[in-house]
């Protein structure tokens, strides 16, 4: 009896497993109930009299109010020497406050109710998002309206945006994948293209508050703005509310230029960017991609899925599963609406298999043209798209945002349904034809980011065109003006310096300067506020100096005696000057008017090159660049065209809080002693932000100086 | 019109700033009451929430096993198994299962011989290694010939599945995707089978993939490097200190046999929870769960790890140099999620380092501008066992880790000596409520949260109690936990400074 029971149990178990064991082909035999009908919710469209377009969709599942805003603006509209203007405007729009509230007050209000309003400006669009519990719908809408209509671009938050940008630049080569994608876009679209270019220190430094205000004024008008809202509200009520906050915004009249065309010549080329501190290469292979409106877009949906879009795609099966070359791999012929996407095959692989990975990707690209899709692949590509179609409508946010985008681009509302019909008809032949038409396996650009010392083969042996190394060194923000060092400009420069020397008291008086003593008040601007302290500086020309600052009772020394010197390195601690310090001082002599006015003719390494007319603090000036060829330093001087007085200067230097930048000084008053006039009140800015003010209280020329001043200080 | 009278502005501001979080709270019991729970005889827990907004459903298999359970010498095995769970079954992914199983057996035996020889180190016979390598490579390619690659993924794709993926964290391994809601049976059949009859095919090729994943996430990524060091420094006894991806030498060492044994031990039905959220009928779902998941025989759930991290007796600090820009991490030991102090610790972290009005954001980003990113959170790397809270900073250009550390420590000291204000408490409660509501908006999000509560508390209902817990925490509680846990001796610091080139 016991045996029979056991046998029966085993049979039952076998039967159960047998009944349910699932072969791939058995999946087709499963009987599914009919899918409940896809209810495509109706988006209500409203255009306000001022041209602002609204897209409304009720969603009562949760007590939440959401809005998504599309602004017809983008980084492509910013000048090439101000890359970052759009992105920073997008940030400071939200952080920099409005006429009614400061940015910090907005933070408090929103976080106080667990809500958020965020803004950004990308390459091709501006965006805002609101998410609040529905009981705070009014707050969310009012903050949104204030931000879009009345931003005040607080200077401190512009500083913060610049700190963010500069820090981002300094960190941009740390993550190899981020680096690789950035450089690949440049390889495809060109480094200057609005679809690939990125900020540098220089372009960030060039942006002022006025530029942001002007950028906002120029593009933010109601007819350029679309707002999609979804959530727990009644449509007619939300429309009334939106009218209340945006209805009286006056229509502008500006034509937003279309994003530019892309010029592309297919060629074969290998690019390499060195990242010596990694053991894995990022390999990107491709060329220009296409448009969503291309006639074979549907064929390419299937092609992409088979090529590299999912688990089970050819890239995944071969590069990852079969060859074990990569964890991260994909491939796609991407398409955009307003400009061509890219075709890309990607893998990150250990340094030692870099060449192999390139070859494997190329093989898969070729395979798309030569090996027609199998029946299974067609099922994956086509059925996958068709069976997952319902996920285009499974949440309201997607539906209403899609309607907003379609409307922007004048797409038919049923664009997706049209594409679906086309995908249903795609054949294996059409996929091969699309691959032959769009893919160019013999004209691929390859980008490798990695450490070539460990590659298993040199990149030129790939035989995929010339190999060019991309220099990813982050350029310093220093202005590199192309100086026209012509005899004319040298003569005009010297002439201006001489005229200025006369205006400032005469060359004879400058040549007679033996000692100088200056007592001044310095006020530095820090994030904690203004911070004043006295400073006294004594010079015995040519190479002795002693500067003592008194900061809250602590003396800070800086002493130079010929080739030696000492300085305070920490409170209460004196250290000897290094060679580097001495060299820095040598570089700084171009900023000393006494030195400049007495050395133009006597120093063979010193040149003054006339640049031309320009501006300083919105006043017309003439610029001359002083060049010290020995220390390879420059300092630009600004002259009043009428009086020939020096009214300011600009040079590359370090800030109070670390970091380097362009320092600009404006001379507001002058102090006279010993027959010479020197700047009395100097306002110093770094990259447009106030850094310090120095005001001379007393100046003595050729007075007595104690020689003890230049000894090592004793504390 | 541009500038209104200041008095009016202040009045408006005062009004706006004192918006009182409403008491007309959203009724969470409505959602709670929709949850249907069912336990199979083999111990598998099934959680279902019907939601009929769209004809789709999200599916989650939540296994109570994570990298914390990796056997010694086999770090990363839980994650490796996660990869293997996509390789199919005895019926999916093969051209001929009998031939394939034989080929796999040969591949395994050759690999075991090879690794035993290699593992002799300097005493290994290099000729023998070369010979075995050749045989093993041939066996590996021979067994691959019998594979239908990624058939599991293909079936999911072509049937309209989206978001097919999985993750392995310290505490759990989670598998998920969504389907049109009429295909519940497909999910039941496919998913149950990979935990009934998994075939760990392509194991030795997949190890190379995992090795690349390690290079990508850790070895070639500065933040990944810093985090691995932070965990190693934080735990000397508890396996939370071991990297979830595994050490490279372990990844290259383990065999299919260990992965299979790991599966047998940890993937019994009583160690799993499945959740289905979407346009489904709970009765049908239960019926299908019985039919498909009921096939898996009962196995006892594995025990919790007994090792307790000893009390730290002094600050641990590591300073490393890297070509990358600086990264700062500071952590403190805190208890597991079920401990009564945890809600207060979580709120302390929110107060210090979450959002634009948190203390660290205000002082380090807005005011001093010494960092471009700061944050604080608790439960790292996990929550099931005593764990860490973590504060981090990315110094801004021209600033360094030391300046950031000074600010972070100052904020910590302030939290110990001063009470958070009633406004701050209100704000935290309001934010918790809003983020909870947003987190259950998606089917997948709700499914995951239910499973997580089920794992940690043994009861998914705890998910709906978190807001009550938060509302019960007082300013004194927050101050007390700051003093109790954020001490110097209990602290671990890792700083990655930029190497001078």
CA-atom Rg of chain B in angstroms: 26
Whole-angstrom distance, CA of residue A133 vs CA of residue A154: 28
pLDDT reported for residue B17: 38
Instruction: Please state at what angle helix B97-118 crosses helix B256-266, rounded to 10 degrees.
Output: 110
Confidence of residue A554 (pLDDT cuts 50, 70, 90): confident
**A97 neighbors A157 (Cβ within 8 angstroms):** yes
Whole-angstrom distance, CA of residue A58 vs CA of residue A41: 9
More confident residue, B10 or A486: A486
Whole-angstrom distance, CA of residue A480 vs CA of residue A461: 38
Residue for token pair 């809408």: A141
Taking contacts as CB-CB distances below 8 angstroms, the residues of chain A near B423 are: 112
Residue A272's nearest CA partner among A166, A365, A355 is A355
Select the residue of A100, A160, A391 nearest B12 (Cβ to Cβ): A100
3-state secondary structure of B498: strand
Beta-carbon count within 10 A of B304 CB: 11
The alpha-carbon gap from B336 to the nearest alpha carbon of chain A, in Å, equals 26
Q: List all residues of chain B from 298 to 327 with a beta carbon under 8 Å from chain A.
A: 322-325
Q: List all residues of chain A from 365 to 404 with a beta carbon under 8 Å from chain B.
A: 376, 379-380, 383-384, 386-391, 393-395
Mean pLDDT of A417-440: 97
pLDDT reported for residue A711: 86
Q: What is chain A's mean pLDDT, rounded? A: 90
**A676 neighbors A505 (Cβ within 8 angstroms):** yes
Confidence of residue A479 (pLDDT cuts 50, 70, 90): low
- Tell me what ipTM this predicted complex has: 0.90
**A351 neighbors A449 (Cβ within 8 angstroms):** no
Instruction: Please state at what angle helix A103-112 crosses helix A137-149, rounded to 10 degrees.
Output: 160
Whole-angstrom distance, CA of residue A496 vs CA of residue B204: 77
> Which segment of A471-480, B278-287, B392-401 scores lowest on mean pLDDT?
A471-480
**A289 neighbors A333 (Cβ within 8 angstroms):** yes
Structure tokens at A547: 């500067």
Mean pLDDT of A485-505: 89
Structure tokens at A374: 């199998």
Q: Is B246 found in the same domain as B190?
A: yes
Taking contacts as CB-CB distances below 8 angstroms, the residues of chain B near A390 are: 54-56, 160, 180
Q: Is B170 found in the same domain as B227?
A: yes
Residue B406 lies in a domain: yes
A100 close contact with B: CB closer than 8 A: yes
Q: Is B275 found in the same domain as B322?
A: no
- Those residues whose C-beta lies under 8 Å from the C-beta of residue B125, and which sit 6 or more positions away, are B117
Percent of chain A surpassing pLDDT 70: 95
Select the residue of B178, B189, B430 nearest A30 (Cβ to Cβ): B189
Mutant choice from B58, B141, B142, B158 vs A, greatest count of A C-beta within 10 A: B158
Structure tokens at B318: 């590591």
pLDDT reported for residue A9: 43
Whole-angstrom distance, CA of residue A113 vs CA of residue B423: 11
pLDDT reported for residue A294: 97
- The answer to whether residue A59 scores a pLDDT higher than 90 is yes
pLDDT reported for residue A511: 85
pLDDT reported for residue A659: 66
The alpha-carbon gap from A38 to the nearest alpha carbon of chain B, in Å, equals 6
Mean pLDDT of A612-633: 84
A3 close contact with B: CB closer than 8 A: no
pLDDT reported for residue B25: 55
Give yes or no on whether A44-173+198-246 and A487-710 have one common fold: no
Intra-chain end-to-end CA distance of chain A, in Å: 105
Taking contacts as CB-CB distances below 8 angstroms, the residues of chain A near B144 are: 322
Residue of B nearest to A319 (CA): B209
- Those residues whose C-beta lies under 8 Å from the C-beta of residue B14, and which sit 6 or more positions away, are none
Residue B114 lies in a domain: no
Beta-carbon count within 10 A of B132 CB: 20
- The answer to whether residue A551 scores a pLDDT higher than 90 is no
Find the domain containing B291 and state its range: 34-94+147-295
pLDDT reported for residue A62: 92
- Those residues whose C-beta lies under 8 Å from the C-beta of residue B8, and which sit 6 or more positions away, are none
| β-bridge partners, B482 | none
B189 close contact with A: CB closer than 8 A: yes
Structure tokens at A302: 């299937």
A439 close contact with B: CB closer than 8 A: no
Whole-angstrom distance, CA of residue A41 vs CA of residue B474: 45
- Those residues whose C-beta lies under 8 Å from the C-beta of residue A439, and which sit 6 or more positions away, are A333, A343, A365, A368, A369
Whole-angstrom distance, CA of residue B286 vs CA of residue B34: 15
DSSP assignment of A589-601 equals GGG-HHHHHHHTT
pLDDT reported for residue A335: 97
- The answer to whether residue A163 scores a pLDDT higher than 90 is yes
Mean pLDDT of A625-642: 86
Select the residue of A131, A160, A395 nearest B366 (Cβ to Cβ): A160
Q: List all residues of chain B from 356 to 375 with a beta carbon under 8 Å from chain A.
A: 356-357, 365-369, 372
CB B2 to CB A379 under 8 A? no
CA-atom Rg of chain A in angstroms: 34
Strands (E), A500-645: 515-526, 529-540, 544-551, 554-561, 564-570, 573-576, 606-616, 619-628, 633-639
- Those residues whose C-beta lies under 8 Å from the C-beta of residue A599, and which sit 6 or more positions away, are A606
Scanning A545-669, the segments in alpha helix (DSSP H) are: 579-588, 593-599
Mutant choice from A36, A135, A311, A377 vs B, greatest count of B C-beta within 10 A: A311
The alpha-carbon gap from B328 to the nearest alpha carbon of chain A, in Å, equals 14
Select the residue of A113, A278, A379 nearest B158 (Cβ to Cβ): A379
User: A–B: how many Cβ contacts below 8 A?
Assistant: 290
Domain boundary among the residues B245, B260, B295 is at B295
User: Residue B7: enclosing H or E segment and its boundaries?
Assistant: helix B6-17
Whole-angstrom distance, CA of residue B263 vs CA of residue A558: 70
pLDDT reported for residue A3: 46
pLDDT reported for residue A589: 82
pLDDT reported for residue A115: 97
Mean pLDDT of A361-376: 96
User: Residue B346: enclosing H or E segment and its boundaries?
Assistant: helix B342-353
Percent of chain B surpassing pLDDT 70: 95
Whole-angstrom distance, CA of residue B414 vs CA of residue B406: 12
Confidence of residue A311 (pLDDT cuts 50, 70, 90): confident
Residue B177's nearest CA partner among A396, A313, A387 is A387
CB A383 to CB B159 under 8 A? yes
Residue of B nearest to A311 (CA): B153
Select the residue of B54, B157, B325 nearest A171 (Cβ to Cβ): B325
**A365 neighbors A345 (Cβ within 8 angstroms):** yes
For A269-399+411-470, CATH number out of 3.40.50.300, 3.40.109.10, 3.40.50.1100, 3.30.830.10 equals 3.30.830.10
CATH of domain A44-173+198-246: 3.30.830.10
CB B437 to CB A62 under 8 A? yes
B213 close contact with A: CB closer than 8 A: yes
Mean pLDDT of A701-707: 88
β-strand pairing of A619-628 with A606-616 = antiparallel
Residue of B nearest to A23 (CA): B91
The alpha-carbon gap from B146 to the nearest alpha carbon of chain A, in Å, equals 12
Structure tokens at B149: 């690659």
Q: A560-596: b or e for each residue (b if 16 or more CB lie within 10 Å)?
A: bbeeebbbbeeeeeeeebeeebeeebebbbbbebbbb
- Count, in order, helices (H) and strands (E) of chain B: 19, 11
pLDDT reported for residue A489: 87
Select the residue of B181, B196, B216 nearest A348 (Cβ to Cβ): B216
pLDDT reported for residue B26: 67
Confidence of residue A528 (pLDDT cuts 50, 70, 90): low
Structure tokens at B147: 């594979």
Question: Mind listing the pLDDT tens digit for each residue in A180-203?
Answer: 999 999 999 999 999 999 999 999
CA angle centred on B458, ends B453 and B461, rounded to 5°: 50
Q: Is B291 found in the same domain as B196?
A: yes
- Those residues whose C-beta lies under 8 Å from the C-beta of residue A285, and which sit 6 or more positions away, are A344, A345, A346, A358, A361, A362, A365, A444, A445, A446, A447
Whole-angstrom distance, CA of residue B80 vs CA of residue B207: 7
Question: Mind listing the pLDDT tens digit for each residue in A640-675?
Answer: 989 999 999 988 887 765 567 788 899 999 999 989
CB B216 to CB A133 under 8 A? no
Residue B28 lies in a domain: no
Q: Is B215 found in the same domain as B83?
A: yes
Taking contacts as CB-CB distances below 8 angstroms, the residues of chain B near A136 are: 19
Select the residue of B2, B220, B430 nearest A113 (Cβ to Cβ): B430
Question: Mind listing the pLDDT tens digit for each residue in A18-38?
Answer: 345 667 667 778 889 999 988
Mutant choice from A10, A17, A32, A105 vs B, greatest count of B C-beta within 10 A: A32
Sheet (strand A445-450) strand order: A329-333, A342-350, A280-288, A445-450, A269-274, A467-470
Mean pLDDT of B371-380: 97
- The answer to whether residue A10 scores a pLDDT higher than 80 is no
- The answer to whether residue B67 scores a pLDDT higher than 90 is yes
Task: Report the length, in residues, of chain B.
Answer: 501
- The answer to whether residue B22 scores a pLDDT higher than 50 is no
- The answer to whether residue B1 scores a pLDDT higher than 80 is no
Q: Is B215 found in the same domain as B80?
A: yes
Number of domains, chain B: 2
Q: List all residues of chain B from 39 to 58 with a beta carbon under 8 Å from chain A.
A: 51-56
Q: Is A613 exposed, middle or buried (0-12, 13-18, 19+ CB in 10 A)?
A: exposed
Q: Is B347 found in the same domain as B289?
A: no
Question: Mind listing the pLDDT tens digit for each residue in B207-266?
Answer: 999 999 999 999 999 999 999 999 999 999 999 999 999 999 999 999 999 999 999 999
> Which segment of A117-121, A427-431, A707-711, B229-233 scores lowest on mean pLDDT?
A707-711
Whole-angstrom distance, CA of residue A208 vs CA of residue A688: 7
Mutant choice from A41, A62, A65, A167 vs B, greatest count of B C-beta within 10 A: A167
pLDDT reported for residue A630: 78
pLDDT reported for residue A28: 75
A253 close contact with B: CB closer than 8 A: no
Query: For residue B453, what is the domain's CATH number?
Result: 3.30.830.10
Residue B21's nearest CA partner among A270, A306, A133 is A133
A530 close contact with B: CB closer than 8 A: no
Residue B13 lies in a domain: no
Backbone CA torsion sign across B422, B426, B428, B429? positive
pLDDT reported for residue B18: 38
Whole-angstrom distance, CA of residue A623 vs CA of residue A319: 59
**A509 neighbors A676 (Cβ within 8 angstroms):** yes
CB A167 to CB B396 under 8 A? yes
Confidence of residue B13 (pLDDT cuts 50, 70, 90): very low
| β-bridge partners, A615 | A620
Backbone CA torsion sign across B284, B286, B290, B294? positive
B248 close contact with A: CB closer than 8 A: no
Residue of B nearest to A232 (CA): B26
Domain at A487-710, CATH class: mainly beta
Confidence of residue A465 (pLDDT cuts 50, 70, 90): very high
What residue spans define the domains of chain A? Answer: 44-173+198-246, 269-399+411-470, 487-710
Q: Is B163 found in the same domain as B203?
A: yes
> Which segment of A272-281, A416-425, A534-543 scores lowest on mean pLDDT?
A534-543
Task: Report the length, in residues, of chain A.
Answer: 715
A62 close contact with B: CB closer than 8 A: yes
B181 close contact with A: CB closer than 8 A: yes
Q: Is B479 found in the same domain as B351?
A: yes
Q: Is A706 exposed, middle or buried (0-12, 13-18, 19+ CB in 10 A)?
A: exposed
B221 close contact with A: CB closer than 8 A: yes
Domain boundary among the residues B295, B329, B350 is at B295
Residue for token pair 């993750």: B167
Structure tokens at A697: 């209280």
Whole-angstrom distance, CA of residue B267 vs CA of residue B69: 12
Beta-carbon count within 10 A of A553 CB: 5
Confidence of residue A481 (pLDDT cuts 50, 70, 90): low
Residue for token pair 């009451």: B33
Question: Mind listing the pLDDT tens digit for each residue in B70-100?
Answer: 999 999 999 999 999 999 999 999 999 999 9
3-state secondary structure of B4: coil
- The answer to whether residue B16 scores a pLDDT higher than 80 is no
Intra-chain end-to-end CA distance of chain B, in Å: 57
> Is the link from the previous residue into A542 a cis peptide, with omega within 30 of 0?
yes
pLDDT reported for residue A25: 65
DSSP A208: -
Confidence of residue A136 (pLDDT cuts 50, 70, 90): very high
Whole-angstrom distance, CA of residue A72 vs CA of residue A86: 12
Mean pLDDT of B113-131: 95
CB A395 to CB B212 under 8 A? no
Q: Is B204 found in the same domain as B90?
A: yes
């Amino acid at each position: 009896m016991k045996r029979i029971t056991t046998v029966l149990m085993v049979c039952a178990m076998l039967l159960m497993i047998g009944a349910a064991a699932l072969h791939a082909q058995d999946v087709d035999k499963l009987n599914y109930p009919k899918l409940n009908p896809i209810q495509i919710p109706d988006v209500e469209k409203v255009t306000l009299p001022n041209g602002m377009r609204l897209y409304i969709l009720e969603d009562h599942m949760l007590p939440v109010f959401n809005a998504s805003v599309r602004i017809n603006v983008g980084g492509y509209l910013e000048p090439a020497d101000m890359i970052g203007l759009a992105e920073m405007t997008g940030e400071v729009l939200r952080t920099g406050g409005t006429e009614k509230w400061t940015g910090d007050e907005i933070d408090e209000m929103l976080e106080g109710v667990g809500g958020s309003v965020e803004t950004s400006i990308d390459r091709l669009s501006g965006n805002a998002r609101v998410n609040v519990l529905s009981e705070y719908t009014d707050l969310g809408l009012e903050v949104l309206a204030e931000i879009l209509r009345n931003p005040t671009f607080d200077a401190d938050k512009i500083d913060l945006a610049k700190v963010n940008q500069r820090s981002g630049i300094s960190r941009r080569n740390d993550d190899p994948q981020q680096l690789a994608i950035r450089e690949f876009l440049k390889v495809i679209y060109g480094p200057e293209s609005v679809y690939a270019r990125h900020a540098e220190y220089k372009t960030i430094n060039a942006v002022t508050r006025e530029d942001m205000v002007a950028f906002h004024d120029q593009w933010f008008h109601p007819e350029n703005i679309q707002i999609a809202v979804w959530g727990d509200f009644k449509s007619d009520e939300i429309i009334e509310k939106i009218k209340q906050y945006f209805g009286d915004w006056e229509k502008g009249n500006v034509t937003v230029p279309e994003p530019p065309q892309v010029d592309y010549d297919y060629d074969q080329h290998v690019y390499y960017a060195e990242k010596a501190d990694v053991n894995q290469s990022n390999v990107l292979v491709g060329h220009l991609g296409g448009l969503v409106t291309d006639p074979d877009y549907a064929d390419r949906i299937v092609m992409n899925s088979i090529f590299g879009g999912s688990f089970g795609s050819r890239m995944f099966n071969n590069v990852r599963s079969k060859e074990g070359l990569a964890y991260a791999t994909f491939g796609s012929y991407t398409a955009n609406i307003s400009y061509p996407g890219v075709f890309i095959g990607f893998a990150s692989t250990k340094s030692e298999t870099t060449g192999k990975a390139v070859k494997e990707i190329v093989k898969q690209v070729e395979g798309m043209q030569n090996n027609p899709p199998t029946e299974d692949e067609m099922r994956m590509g086509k059925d996958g798209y068709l069976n997952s179609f319902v996920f285009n409508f499974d949440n309201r946010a997607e539906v209403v945002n899609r309607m907003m985008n379609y409307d922007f681009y004048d797409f038919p509302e049923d664009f997706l349904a049209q594409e679906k019909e086309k995908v249903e008809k795609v054949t294996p032949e059409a996929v091969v034809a699309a691959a032959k038409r769009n893919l160019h396996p013999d004209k691929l650009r390859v980008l490798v980011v990695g450490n070539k010392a460990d590659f298993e083969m040199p990149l030129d042996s790939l035989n995929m065109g010339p190999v060019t190394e991309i220099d990813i060194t982050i350029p310093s923000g220093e202005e590199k003006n192309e100086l026209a060092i012509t005899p004319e400009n040298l003569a005009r420069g010297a002439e201006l310096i001489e005229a200025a020397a006369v205006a400032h008291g005469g060359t004879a008086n400058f040549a007679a300067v033996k000692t100088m003593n200056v007592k001044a008040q310095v006020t530095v601007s820090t994030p904690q506020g203004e911070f004043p302290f006295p400073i006294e500086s004594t010079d015995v020309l040519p190479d002795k100096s002693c500067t003592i600052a008194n900061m809250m009772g602590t003396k800070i020394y800086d002493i130079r005696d010929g080739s030696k010197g000492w300085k305070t390195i920490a409170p209460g601690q004196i250290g000897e000057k290094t060679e580097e310090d001495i060299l820095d001082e040598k570089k700084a002599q171009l900023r000393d008017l006494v030195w400049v006015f007495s050395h133009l003719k006597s120093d063979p390494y010193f040149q003054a090159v006339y640049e031309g007319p320009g501006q300083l603090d919105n006043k017309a000036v003439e610029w001359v660049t002083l060049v010290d060829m020995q220390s390879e330093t420059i300092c630009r001087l600004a002259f009043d065209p009428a009086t020939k007085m020096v009214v300011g200067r600009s040079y590359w230097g370090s800030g109070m809080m670390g970091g380097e930048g362009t320092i600009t000084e404006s001379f507001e008053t002058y102090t006279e002693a010993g027959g010479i006039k020197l700047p009395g009140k100097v306002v110093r800015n770094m990259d447009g932000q106030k850094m310090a003010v120095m005001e001379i209280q007393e100046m003595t020329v050729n007075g007595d100086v104690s020689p003890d001043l230049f000894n090592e200080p004793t504390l | 019109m541009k500038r209104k009278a200041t008095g009016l502005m202040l009045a408006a501001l005062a009004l706006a700033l004192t918006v009182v979080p409403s008491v007309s709270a959203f009724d969470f019991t409505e959602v709670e009451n929709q949850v249907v729970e069912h336990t199979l005889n083999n111990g598998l827990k099934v959680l279902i929430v019907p939601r009929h907004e769209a004809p789709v459903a999200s599916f989650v298999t939540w296994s109570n096993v994570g990298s914390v359970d990796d056997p010694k010498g086999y770090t990363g095995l839980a994650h490796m198994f996660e990869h293997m769970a996509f390789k199919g079954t005895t019926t999916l992914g093969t051209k001929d299962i009998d031939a394939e199983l034989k080929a796999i057996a040969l591949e395994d035996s050759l690999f075991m011989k090879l690794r035993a020889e290699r593992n002799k180190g300097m005493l290994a016979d290099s000729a023998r290694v070369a010979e075995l390598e050749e045989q093993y490579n041939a066996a590996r390619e021979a067994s691959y010939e019998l594979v239908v690659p990624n058939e599991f993924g293909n079936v999911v794709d072509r049937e309209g599945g989206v978001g097919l993926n999985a993750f392995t964290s310290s505490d759990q391994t989670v598998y998920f995707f969504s389907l049109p809601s009429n295909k519940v049976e497909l999910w039941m059949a496919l998913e149950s089978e990979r935990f009934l009859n998994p075939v760990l095919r392509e194991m030795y090729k997949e190890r190379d993939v995992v090795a690349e994943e390690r290079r990508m996430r850790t070895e070639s990524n500065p933040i990944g490097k810093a985090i691995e060091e932070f965990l190693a420094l934080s735990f000397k006894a508890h396996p939370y200190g071991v990297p979830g991806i595994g050490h490279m030498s372990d990844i290259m060492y383990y065999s299919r046999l260990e992965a299979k044994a790991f599966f047998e031990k940890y993937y019994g039905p009583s160690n799993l929870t499945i959740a289905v959220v979407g346009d489904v009928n709970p009765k049908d779902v239960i019926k299908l769960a019985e039919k498909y998941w009921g096939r898996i025989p009962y196995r006892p759930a594995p025990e919790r790890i007994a090792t307790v991290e000893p009390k730290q007796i002094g600050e641990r600090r590591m300073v490393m140099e890297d070509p990358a820009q600086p990264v700062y991490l500071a952590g403190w030991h805190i208890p597991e999620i079920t401990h009564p102090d945890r809600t207060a610790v979580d709120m302390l972290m929110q107060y210090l380092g979450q959002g634009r009005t948190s203390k660290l954001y205000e002082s380090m980003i807005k005011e001093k501008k010494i960092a471009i990113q700061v944050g604080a959170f608790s439960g790292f790397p996990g929550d099931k066992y005593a764990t860490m809270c973590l504060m981090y900073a990315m110094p801004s250009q021209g600033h360094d880790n030391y300046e950031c550390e000074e600010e972070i420590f100052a904020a910590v000291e302030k939290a110990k000596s001063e009470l958070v204000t009633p406004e701050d408490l209100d704000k935290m409660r309001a934010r918790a409520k809003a983020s909870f509501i947003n987190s259950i908006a998606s089917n997948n999000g709700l499914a995951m949260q239910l499973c997580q509560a089920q794992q940690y508390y043994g009861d998914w209902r705890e998910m709906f109690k978190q807001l009550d817990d938060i509302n019960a925490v007082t300013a004194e509680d927050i101050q007390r936990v700051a003093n109790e846990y954020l001490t110097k001796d209990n602290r671990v610091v890792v700083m990655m400074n930029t190497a001078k080139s």
